[in-house]
Structure 1
């Protein structure tokens, strides 16, 4: 279908659920109340690493209104996404400050909270694994029995007698030869802290365990109902058919609600309370302190370059402080084996990505899935190389960006249809008005004025990280009045996926979008399967599944209409609610006439209710080779670039972002309003990571900022003064991949935002920052060192 014929694709329709949400009609799990429902509260560990000597729950059990008190002895089942390394509740010991050691179920939250305060726990503190370096020394092990854990073999690689949950590698070319060919070798280290996801709706789940069978019903604010079903069944030792997961409206996720979190615990609590429904909702402090984060990360680069700026070799270490448990963290680390060197041609590379245990709150998926972290390092490193070679950073990138015929670090061949990072860089550099670097003298003159300006840019790339067997499905049904209902297994947690799917269905059926309804609540007992709502995959994968379902429905109507109109189905076409003959357009039947089957005048009927389905599997994916990382683990690439123009107050260290420009090779925009929302939101979220967010711990690994007062996220005053989004669309060449040529963009706007800001700060100040965030304090201290000619600048 050519672009000119598209009626709904590219239009900026409002989100289907907008009115329900803004009027307060939308129901979230936080809002849900059920007959006989009980409430849970949890007791968390004050220690980062300690043996649990004893737990005395006797006083808590005596409190009126308490229905159950559970400890790790009763909730000893193990759970894990890629590595089964975690108990539902801490058993013999705790591995991070904030880990749950006991839970109370009571008639009210107030009673449960009071009962929790009556539980007495005796701990014996153990040595703390405090940092990546201490973890790698392995003098103390976070998991002594790591070698006995069940895990996904051939994909992840835990190391016995170590704190390494997985060590993934990439090897391409001859790194020794590559460094010998280099005229210059540059070595750098960059890092960033752990940060919280901060969805508006904190984690919350309700469980009802049937007291007479193994059946469990879960209502959860979650991204991945089918993953919850699978992992919960495995953890509790019951059949997947006995688990029904229901996900209503979700108040944000950003990856923090992927996988399984509270659901096994509330299932155990419900069973302990005799099968009554039990609700557990986390406070904001518990969200920071107990639920998973984005991992802290350190990246080390050694890069060989020719004197004219071509990469000859790279040796890279990405070390992820994944905290006490592996969860999604090992898979985040795995993405580095195919994306950890940025969108550049690197002929010779050896890359190591190590997911490492420490005694901190554990990590999980976060918007960008490791790419913000790796690209923070890659793009700052490229800028510093340009400084040292005295090459314009624009020219340096242009010399090395991937182009058709090149191969990625994992050996994937770049085709003309893969995407175009070059066009993205050209677009943002032009829009920001890049004319080259300032001189040192220009910077010093500006510093004397008290306000300095700087521009910078950074590249980005991402492909969905998922198993090679990933699939999704759609079921479509037409009612008697021609209204179409679409059922999906994916969760729309604010990204607008359901509106996009309605547009795709309407486009294929050639009906108004208002005639298509995507059923909202996802229920694993009723909805078709979807692997996970993660990885910026759903427009691509779900869109293809919905297209197939719609085309299947059209074909069903043509088969029946062909019999009625006495012609071959291939002679029929469709549009405006009719199936009609290609040439004799007056020979037609309406969708309504066919929706329940066609009835002849004599009463005979043919056909039947129109129910169609479509499936899409991520074809052609392979697991990376265990030794070399070579393979095709990423389904479809989206490339992009950011550019920023900012101003720094030399006295206070405050950074004012005047203009932020982003360009993405998106293939085709399905809904501009939705894409704009993703881009603007992603940029602001990226600004948070760059400018203010980050966990801080004391010497005992206690989280010091588990609240918004000291762990701030961007507010309206932190938003860049101007944001411009540029979409590079080539639907005809990209059509071989996504629906109408569309590629994913959900996570991409956040990637490389800190790098672009860091590069602009160098242009403004002549100072290179190696660690996030750029708080006014950190910037001010760096300026002070610079002005005093400190060698450590």
Structure 2
């Protein structure tokens, strides 16, 4: 068998293997290593050349038709008998002590059922640090902080009554800049920080505004700087931005008199909603049932726990009637979570030939009023802090800091977008000062699979992917180093730029996923998984995995789109780029379990061994003798012989997957294995700048990702294009503006996002498929 050089090179960079002429020494260790390498290459080659019916094929989304024709059900569409409606009273001050909440005038309004203040719901929330009030109790911590809620028989009545709730405040000095918040004497956002519950990996510092510090240390940076020929230091920043998902937050909750709770919510992670609600409110977990219908986008903004506990308690306090709370777009801007802001300082030491010797980084993330996911964003940015580069001496300090602004949560990339903005700008500046081409400079220092040691002290997997191939592909597509077409006007200028990146799922070592595949009477199969469909297309890819494994037509596979914690198989969360890998492996295991049952049953019917059988298009047949067969539908519920005797029963496959290769990180040095895998990629753009008007136009975007196996290339390209447009929008247009501590642009008139006319005319998406042996295919 002849192996193409690209395959061998992709697995062993810098160690090209010529198999026919390779010399095998008599050394036992050498022979063992050779066998391992050859086996690895052979396995990868088999995976690359295996013929699939559904895997790797562009397939339309299974949820596309319902969404296109308007029949998809979202949380906003839920209506229950006797339902009440809630609206929020929000603080006009960024920092103020609450003296009194007076709802007497509001109570007298027709249709008003209940006025609730923070003292009525004295619980603390928080996924990592329990610092969050359901409604502001002692203090309002940002302008827009909900301090009371009105429940009424109609939405209109609730909206009128909200205006009549009188809240007496004592304004306090706010702290709005995270760098100022770190200084001694700054106003303290959380005076009771030392009293809050927290997970052991996070360490809020009482008496300060520090929600967490993550430290990463490898080697000796000071010694590294002393050996460097050039040291470059710069500062970078990114503002807070809004997720701007299409569907604002909606929650419907019914607290029933027997203690059972039903919640319908626009959330990414139903099992997290259930668990954290139980922990926070003291409701037995088995009494909480969370329903998640279709979700109109999330981008991390609907991860964790949001408005669900408030609406649950409003239902209880309003006579156990169901209550709906839907935020307006303006309320969603000011009262729901946003993306963190960032200030960074990077100091880089390099040799004159372009080798990185040392790097010291200080990240300061603006968490707003609550820690929420922001502390984990800061942690993820800390351990991935130097990006996809091998640097022997590293020191990273990543601070997550409270301020009196809207609280921050997860956002696409989970800290990686922010850190790579800083790191990649630094790479360009250092390359320029060295007089080295930026592409060449990056290639010298990029991770090398199987060889490089990451900043957390872990050797990069041999099958991790090829950042160098991604970089070269984008540079070539951009025409790097070649003359470019000139603009049509002398006052316009064009330029190209690129950036390399890596991203791994930010999840704990014990995060898990499960799947159940249930066969129906007609031989079709229904998949139950906990991951939600928030626009990423995962459920379509999971259907393709199941159809491939089961040997039945794709149209005979249905994935349950509504999530219901009473029936749905468990998954940790739909966050962090984990779902297709984790839930996909669980689905494959469940499909193989179901397939085994079918083959064992068919073997008795066809009087053959299971290993002699195959399933093709819903028919089990003897290999080489396709006329000896039995339909899957005749086996799915159990097989009945002509004489009426039966065997088996309903086929139900089950599968699971848990994070592997991960460890806890050393609390002092950050050393350890923080992620199950890394995905490498590179993006480049060509822009045109009008120096008279200041207009910046993105002419084209080129992307290359090494993703293992593209289960559905159509959806992969859709994600690349969609993510590129969002990134362009954030880079050129988006920023939450504050004045006197108040958000100045809480609407889509003043908060600018990319429109259709801003989208580049040219996209090029390059998919590189270095096989990852523990990934789905």
TM range (shorter): over 0.9
1:351-430 paired onto structure 2 within 5 Å: 351-404=396-449, 405-430=451-476
| Whole-angstrom distance in 2 between the partners of 1:437 and 1:391 | 18
Please report how far the alpha carbon of residue 584 of structure 1 lies from its aligned counterpart in structure 2 after TM superposition: 4.2
Q: Give CA deviations for 1:425-447 in whole Å, capped at 9, x if unaligned.
A: 00000000000799xxx9xx999
Which deviates further from its counterpart, 658-667 or 558-567?
558-567
Which sits farther off after the overlay, 40-49 or 128-137?
128-137
Structure 1 segment 561-576 matched on structure 2, within 5 A? 561-576=602-617
Give the Cα separation in 1 of the matches to 2:414 and 2:88: 29
For residues 279 and 313 of structure 2, the distance between their equivalents in structure 1, rounded to whole angstroms, comes to 14
* Preserved contact between residue 661 and residue 675 of structure 2 (Cα < 8 Å): no
C-alpha distance in structure 2 between counterparts of 1:69 and 1:664, whole Å? 52
Aligned equivalent of 1:577, options 595, 614, 618: 618
Check conservation: 2:383, 2:670, Cα contact below 8 A: yes
1:294-322 residue CA offsets vs partner (Å, 9 max, x unmatched): 01101110111101111100110111010
Structure 2 CA distance for aligned equivalents of residues 351 and 59 of structure 1: 54
The match for 1:743 is none
1:338–1:408 CA contact under 8 A, matched in 2: no
1:453-485 per-residue CA deviation (whole Å, 9 max, x = no partner) reads 101111111000001111111111111111111
1:16-68 per-residue CA deviation (whole Å, 9 max, x = no partner) reads 11111111111111122211111100010001111001111111111110011
Tell me the residue number matched to 2:571.
530
Matched, 1:660 2:711: no
Q: Please say if residues 272 and 304 of structure 2, whose CA atoms lie closer than 8 Å, have aligned partners that are also in contact.
A: yes
Residue 55 (str. 1) matches residue 95 (str. 2) = no
How far off is 1:416 after superposition?
2.4
**Aligned position for 1:737:** 774
Displacement after TM superposition at 1:496 (Å): 1.0
1:551-570 per-position Cα deviation (integer Å, ceiling 9, x unaligned): 11110012212222333323
Which residue is 1:507 aligned to?
A: 548
Please point out which of 328, 331, 340 is paired with 1:295: 340
Find the aligned partners of 2:437 and 2:288 in 1 and give their Cα distance: 58
1:557 aligns with 2:594: no
Q: What is the root-mean-square deviation of aligned Cα atoms in Å? A: 1.6
Provide Cα deviations, 1:632-683, integer angstroms capped at 9, x if missing partner: 1111111000111111000111011111100000111111221111011000
Aligned to 2:88: 42
Separation in structure 1 between the aligned mates of residue 169 and residue 134 of structure 2, nearest angstrom: 19
Establish whether residue 704 from structure 1 lines up as the match of residue 704 from structure 2: no
Instruction: Judge conservation of contact 1:669–1:729 (CA < 8 Å) in 2.
Output: yes
Whether the aligned pair in 1 keeps the contact of 2:552 and 2:615 (CA below 8 Å) is no
Note the C-alpha offset of 1:11. Answer: 1.2
Matches within 5 A, 1:177-216: 177-210=223-256, 212-216=257-261
Decide whether aligned partners of structure 1 residues 10 and 135 sit closer, same or farther in structure 2, where only a CA change above 3 A counts.
same
SS at structure 2 position matched to 1:228: helix
1:143 maps to which residue? 190
Q: In the alignment, does 2:727 pair up with 1:727?
A: no
Residues 525-557 of structure 1 show CA distances to partners (whole Å, capped at 9, x for unaligned) of 111101001111111111111111111111001
1:592 aligns with 2:639: no
Aligned to 1:308: 353
Q: Matched residues in 1 for 2:69 and 2:630: separation?
A: 40
**Greater Cα offset, 615-624 or 80-89:** 615-624
Which residues of 2 match residues 135-534 of structure 1 at below 5 A? 135-139=181-185, 140-153=187-200, 155-210=201-256, 212-404=257-449, 405-435=451-481, 449-534=490-575
Query: Take 1:156 and 1:107, find their aligned partners in 2: how far apart are those partners?
Result: 43
Deviation at 1:583, TM superposition (A): 4.7
Which piece of structure 1 moves more, 446-455 or 219-228? 446-455
Q: Which residue of 2 aligns with 1:97?
A: 143
Aligned equivalent of 1:669: 710
1:160: how far off?
A: 2.3
- CA deviations 1:664-714 (Å, max 9, x no partner) are 00111111221111011000000111000001111x311111111211111
Q: Does 1:714 align with 2:760?
A: no
Specify the SS of the correspondent of 1:322: strand
Residue 665 of structure 2 aligns to a residue whose secondary structure is coil
Q: Which residue of 1 aligns with 2:23?
A: none
2:528 and 2:569 in contact (8 A); partners too:
yes
SS at match of 2:700: strand
| 1:4 shift after superposition | 3.5
SS in 2 for 1:402: coil
C-alpha displacement at 1:407, in angstroms?
1.1
Listed as ranges, the gaps of 5+ residues in structure 1 are 741-793
Shift in Å, 1:737: 2.0
State how far apart, in whole Å, the 2-side matches of 1:48 and 1:316 are: 30
Number of residues of Structure 1 aligned to a counterpart in Structure 2: 729
Partner of 1:27: 73
Q: What's the secondary structure of 2:752's corresponding residue? A: coil
Of residues 618-627 and 429-438 in structure 1, the stretch that sits farther from structure 2 once superposed is: 429-438
Distance of 2:145 and 2:384 partners within structure 1: 32
1:67-94: CA deviation from partner (whole Å, max 9, x where unpaired): 1110001011111010000111100111
Determine the structure 1 residue equivalent to 2:17.
none
Supply the distance in 1 between the matched residues of 2:593 and 2:567 (Cα, whole angstroms).
20
Q: Distance in 2 between matches of 1:496 and 1:516?
A: 15
CA distance in 2, matches of 1:333, 1:639: 20
- C-alpha spacing 1:395/1:529, structure 2 compared with 1 (3 Å): same
* Structure 2 segments unaligned to the other structure (5+ residues): 1-45
Q: Give the Å deviation of 1:572.
A: 2.6
- Go from structure 1 to structure 2 and tell me whether the alpha carbon gap of 1:141 and 1:588 turns closer, same or farther (over 3 Å shift): same
Rounded Cα–Cα distance in structure 1 between residues aligned with 2:430 and 2:258: 64
